[in-house]
Structure 1
């Protein structure tokens, strides 16, 4: 019975999930833009005027960049992590300062 769960991702005929394909596509797009920007800097260093060069633009963006409604739905579904908020970080810093002032050992 335990073998089925441990072997569920090892099928050869399994198609990669859509999320992996999207990540690969986004990675290739970032690499293309980065390479194009590198070529532009080389051209500028060799005397070409920056005004004469066309900057590379993004030919492809993930779906949520095109559809703000989907982006809002995704952001609402994620829970707010209190330790990521500014107030929590400020509270932690104030408590540490107070402990140092009062002579306690702070880790």
Structure 2
């Protein structure tokens, strides 16, 4: 299995290749050649879809059970840090003499 970045790059190049093929067909038809005479790329040039129906069903079933972002430790920690920062700012506003400490 290729790393995610390489898979995305491969998929991008495939989409680009398909787009170029279709553009060439459209250009030859618009230049005056009859559509029946143009070689239209068939289904063989399309990239294969590697989707597994069972995997998709299991992912859909799991999606409802995933944690919400505000229930994760990271979210709670960041929220706590924000609250502490707000409290520190309020303390410095109330006691300007303590700002240097």
| Higher Cα radius of gyration | 2
- Length-normalised TM-score, structure 1: 0.47
